[in-house]
Chains A and B, each alone.
Chain A
Amino acid sequence: GQQLNQSPQSMFIQEGEDVSMNCTSSSIFNTWLWYKQDPGEGPVLLIALYKAGELTSNGRLTAQFGITRKDSFLNISASIPSDVGIYFCAGRTTGANSKLTFGKGITLSVRP
Chain B
Amino acid sequence: DGGITQSPKYLFRKEGQNVTLSCEQNLNHDAMYWYRQDPGQGLRLIYYSQIVNDFQKGDIAEGYSVSREKKESFPLTVTSAQKNPTAFYLCASSIQRQETQYFGPGTRLLVL
A joins B in a complex: yes
Instruction: Give residues in A with beta carbon < 8 Å to B.
Output: 4, 9, 31, 33, 35, 40-45, 48, 88, 92, 98-100, 102-105
- For chain B residues 11-70, which have a beta carbon within 8 Å of chain A? 40-43, 45, 48, 58
Other A-B pairs beyond A42-B92, A99-B48, A100-B45, 13, CB < 8 Å: A31-B100, A41-B106, A42-B104, A43-B103, A45-B100, A45-B102, A48-B100, A92-B98, A99-B58, A100-B101, A104-B40, A104-B41, A105-B42
Q: Is the CB of B103 within 8 A of A44?
A: yes
In the bound assembly, the distance between CA atoms of A44 and B103 in angstroms comes to 7
Which of A31, A40, A99, A102 lies in contact with B106, CB distance below 8 A? A40
In the bound assembly, the distance between CA atoms of A100 and B44 in angstroms comes to 10
In the bound assembly, the distance between CA atoms of A98 and B6 in angstroms comes to 26
Q: Is the CB of B105 within 8 A of A41?
A: yes
Q: Is the CB of B43 within 8 A of A42?
A: no
In the bound assembly, the distance between CA atoms of A68 and B105 in angstroms comes to 34
Q: Is the CB of B103 within 8 A of A103?
A: no
